[in-house]
Structure 1
Amino acid sequence: MPTSYYGQISTILDIALSQNPKSILDVGIGFGKYGVLLREILDISNERYSKDKWEVIIDGIEGYKDYKNPIYEYVYNKVYFGFVQEVIKSLKYSYDLILMIDVLEHFNKNEGEEIIESLLQICKNLLVCTPAIPSKQTYLDNNLEEHKSLWKISDFKKYKVKKVEILPMTAFNSSIILLLEGRLNNDRL
């Protein structure tokens, strides 16, 4: 769905803020909630209220064009529309932080691992959040919303995991949140 469980917001923002990113890529923008919240805590709270004063680059990728709304133009520096696997190949930038919030479960395991590998090549840190038990879902006839895989913490053992959080979402499910170390140690290209 173009939204995600509200109970994980503070944990995701705390982790993001701890990385002090100057550039962010939000994979699977959806409604744009994390773009807005990150813009607020990284620019607005630092007395850079007007858009011309913003210093943090926040780009995004969205696979479903019908989710586009006025948030995209206002909050994000650049939005790429298309399948993440294709967009990644065309990116000319690296990022301090890439967010993949409630996106990974929409790919089968092989696709998901390929996407993770591609994203790790262009970032310092990758923040992944996925439900412990993906449920069946549909939204606005968007076939990209189908859940295709179940991810466990052990699925990430081949990556350098910097942080793991498990947050209860409901009585029957939880969010798995991981911060993975990317393969870049340089600034934005």
Structure 2
Amino acid sequence: MDLIMALKPKSVLDIGAGYGKYGVLCREYLELWDGRQNYYERLRRIDGVEVFENYITPLHKYVYDHIYIGDIIKLVSQIDFKYDLVLLIDVLEHFSKLEGESLMTKLLEKNIGILISTPRKPTVQKEAFGNVYESHRSRWRKQELARFGNSYFINDPVSFIGYISQKEHIQKLKSELILMKIKKSSEVSSLISSWKYYTNKYIKQKVPDSLIKWNERAD
């Protein structure tokens, strides 16, 4: 979620919404953690796409502003809205290479950027939950994904996770991630300093060496 929070999108299209996990997370992190402290006012547009209608529950209808039901391969040309961020989380491997390449190209033409996650080594998976679209049909390499445009990938042992967009948006993302890291380091440093003070004054306990070393690295 750090990538999504750093991007600060005003509109999100969650393709392959499934259980609604990322719709919920986006709604929480983007709406409730933005400093407004307004539980009910929604300022972001978060839409979902789901090919298997049986997955849709009242949760989806509460979280998403709109849910497109159908195959995104067919819907992509019909959706008349430019999203700040498109989520393709564990989705691309469910398409053939040709379908995936076509989808990526069309999405990038119509929207600002795509956050993608696809397994490095997809398992053999066929129909599941009565849904034929759950089958895995392709395996992607990082180099293939990077060919779609300017990209920024984070290290992950299980999946290729990256953001693809125009150069200016990639640079903005990197800057925001650095600021977030600095803020987190400052918060931890402040916490350790407070811990040192109170333990020395009242408890006389030693701060764990592991935390001290972490703080020194952060400094």
The TM-score range, normalised by the shorter chain, is: 0.7 to 0.9
Is 1:31 the equivalent of 2:13? no
Map 1:17-166 onto structure 2 (within 5 A).
Answer: 17-46=5-34, 47-50=37-40, 53-137=41-125, 138-166=127-155
Q: Determine the structure 2 residue equivalent to 1:175.
A: 159
Q: Which amino acid aligns with 2:129?
A: L
Once superposed, what is the RMSD of the aligned Cα atoms? 1.5
Paired with 1:80 and 1:130, the residues of 2 have a C-alpha distance of 22
Q: Give 1:86 shift.
A: 1.3
Structure 1 residues 182 and 89: CA distance shift in structure 2, 3 A: farther
Q: Give 1:125 shift.
A: 1.1
**Which is greater in Rg?**
2
Q: Give 1:69 shift.
A: 1.1
The count of residues paired between Structure 1 and Structure 2 equals: 165
Q: Give 1:160 shift.
A: 2.2
Q: Determine the structure 1 residue equivalent to 2:214.
A: none
Map 1:8-19 onto structure 2 (within 5 A).
Answer: 13-19=1-7
Cα offsets for 1:57-93 (capped at 9, x unmatched):
0001000001101221101000000000111111110
Q: Which amino acid aligns with 2:140?
A: W
Paired with 1:48 and 1:122, the residues of 2 have a C-alpha distance of 31
Q: Give 1:159 shift.
A: 2.2
Paired with 2:21 and 2:55, the residues of 1 have a C-alpha distance of 12
Name structure 2 gaps, 5 residues minimum: 170-219
The two structures have a TM-score, normalised by structure 1, of 0.83
Identity %: 36
Q: Which amino acid aligns with 1:181?
A: S
More helix by share: 2
Name structure 1 gaps, 5 residues minimum: 1-12, 169-173
The two structures have a TM-score, normalised by structure 2, of 0.72
Cα offsets for 1:128-158 (capped at 9, x unmatched):
1000011122421211011000000011232
Paired with 1:30 and 1:81, the residues of 2 have a C-alpha distance of 11
Paired with 1:92 and 1:179, the residues of 2 have a C-alpha distance of 22
Higher relative contact order at CA 8 Å, sep ≥6: structure 1 or structure 2? 1
Q: Secondary structure at the match of 1:30?
A: coil
